[in-house]
Amino acid sequence: MVSARIARYPFRPMQTHALRPYSRDFALDPADPERLANLAGPFDAHLRQIELRRGVEIAGRGNLFRVSGDDEASVAATEKLLRALYEEAAETTFDAQAIHLRLGGDEPATPVNAGGYQPQDVAVKVKRGTVRGRGANQQKYLHAIATHDINFGIGPAGTGKTFLAVAMAVEALNTARIQRIVLVRPAVEAGEKLGFLPGDLSQKVDPYLRPLYDALYEMLGVEKVAKLLEKNVIEIAPLAYMRGRTLNDAYVILDEAQNTTIEQMKMFLTRLGFGSTAVVTGDLTQIDLPKHVKSGLRDAIDVLREVDGVSFTFFEARDVVRHPLVAKIVRAYEAQTSREQAAP
């Protein structure tokens, strides 16, 4: 019935696959060329992405599909995924990141609603358009920031912790709910000494705050960010210089918080004034502190976990929205750490 993966418009003809031990034939109804093109992606990239992750082969002619594989469970799960994606395709435009996140949804995960509430969809309106959580943990994270004054986003690189925090800060500034954005980062080198850095205070800490700048540029544009920095509406504040301050009507983001000491974390969290929101982001697998110094972020998890009004969102490798290999790299390092901890 199905002799090629894609045989006619809107899909590109592909080579016929050899039939594997298990296969399922099904139709995606109603037949809609635009939805089918959205599902398949440019040059069938989305279908190939699903094939590689699931270890199956997908063939199709129009809205008729065949999934073949070496085990029945994978074949059935892939059919279920394709049907779900086709339903979404009517309203959502897919890209590689969206497919990656939906594939990750089949992996074991920490319960998203462990905090006792159902996260609502939070849409953040910025210059680049509307930003939404891509995946359950990102949705929970945005909802937590919208409903708590102190928020922790903890997890591996590439899970959107900093980007989403900056998006929420920019929206709060644009809607006049706050008067300024304060960006804070500990000045700790990642495994090498950079030595003396020339310039004024802002220029000295710029290299450490580059990820925050990148997110701001994408949200507001380079020129507007420069103007807001000049007016001190966006403020760069090295963590070491925060002592003694009270931050009212501000959005405060502490990035790379795994490199804070216990004393620094306590000092930062007690700077919060009226009408302010704090977001603390970090990755406990990338601590650059001396080995005998306990991370302030790790300590805060133990101390503040049960404090009402403080939210914790824990991201996992499945939430990574960078290249799919990044998630595999994260898992490989996690597995290595687990083996080292289990060793006598």
126-139 pLDDT, tens digit per residue, is 666 677 777 788 88
Between 185 and 27, the higher pLDDT residue: 27
- 112: in domain: no
Cis before 30 (ω within 30):
yes
Between 20 and 218, the higher pLDDT residue: 218
Coil/strand/helix, residue 225? helix
Last residue of some domain: 104, 135, 170?
104
Across 9-18, 121-130, 291-300, least confident range = 9-18
Coil/strand/helix, residue 181? strand
The backbone torsions φ and ψ at residue 73, rounded to the nearest 5 degrees and listed phi first, read -65, -45
84 and 233 together in one domain: no
Between 81 and 344, the higher pLDDT residue: 81
Asked if residues 62 and 114 have their Cβ atoms less than 8 Å apart, the reply is no
Report the CATH number at residue 319: 3.40.50.300
- 290: in domain: yes
Give, as one character, the DSSP assignment of residue 116: S
Q: What percent of the chain has pLDDT over 70?
A: 78
Residues in the chain: 344
The backbone torsions φ and ψ at residue 177, rounded to the nearest 5 degrees and listed phi first, read -80, -20
Distances (CA, A) of 267 to 78, 112, 155: 50, 30, 22
145 and 240 together in one domain: yes
- 6: in domain: no
26 and 149 together in one domain: no
pLDDT at 117: 42
Mean pLDDT, range 259-278, rounded to an integer: 91
pLDDT digits (tens, 9 = 90+) for 240-250: 778 888 888 99
80 and 218 together in one domain: no
Distance, CA of 28 to CA of 227 (rounded, Å): 51
Bridge partners of 125, per DSSP, are 130
- 117: in domain: no
pLDDT at 138: 86
Which residue type sits at 244? G
| pLDDT higher than threshold 80 for residue 121 | no
Report the CATH number at residue 94: 3.30.1370.10
- 155: in domain: yes
130 and 100 together in one domain: no
Asked if residues 87 and 41 have their Cβ atoms less than 8 Å apart, the reply is no
143 and 286 together in one domain: yes
What's the pTM value of the predicted model, to 2 decimals?
0.63
pLDDT at 54: 82
| pLDDT higher than threshold 70 for residue 109 | no
140 and 215 together in one domain: yes
With residue 299 as reference, give the H or E element that holds it: helix 296-304
- 245: in domain: yes
Between 227 and 339, the higher pLDDT residue: 227
| Letter string b/e over residues 209-247, b meaning 16 or more CB atoms within 10 A of that residue's CB | bebbbebbebbbeeebbeebbeeeebbbbbbeebeeeeb
pLDDT at 139: 86
Measured between alpha carbons, how far apart are the two ends of the chain, in Å? 57
Distance, CA of 259 to CA of 297 (rounded, Å): 8
Pseudo-torsion of CA 91, 97, 99, 104, nearest 10°? -130
pLDDT at 28: 93
| pLDDT higher than threshold 70 for residue 278 | yes
pLDDT band at 202 (very low <50, low <70, confident <90, very high): low
170 and 304 together in one domain: yes
The backbone torsions φ and ψ at residue 219, rounded to the nearest 5 degrees and listed phi first, read -80, -40
- Token pair for 221: 């544009």
145 and 247 together in one domain: yes
Asked if residues 296 and 270 have their Cβ atoms less than 8 Å apart, the reply is no
Nearest to 159 by CA among 301, 282, 335, 288: 282
65 and 169 together in one domain: no
Kindly report the average pLDDT of the chain as a whole number. 79
Domain that holds residue 269: 124-342
Distance, CA of 71 to CA of 22 (rounded, Å): 6
Cis before 186 (ω within 30):
no
150 and 283 together in one domain: yes
Beta-carbon contacts of 328 under 8 Å, excluding residues fewer than 6 positions away, are: 317
Distance, CA of 48 to CA of 25 (rounded, Å): 18
- Token pair for 184: 């804070």
pLDDT digits (tens, 9 = 90+) for 18-28: 557 888 999 99
- 8: in domain: no
pLDDT band at 115 (very low <50, low <70, confident <90, very high): very low
Distance, CA of 184 to CA of 250 (rounded, Å): 12
| pLDDT higher than threshold 80 for residue 107 | no
Last residue of some domain: 74, 104, 134?
104
pLDDT at 277: 92
28 and 160 together in one domain: no
- 329: in domain: yes
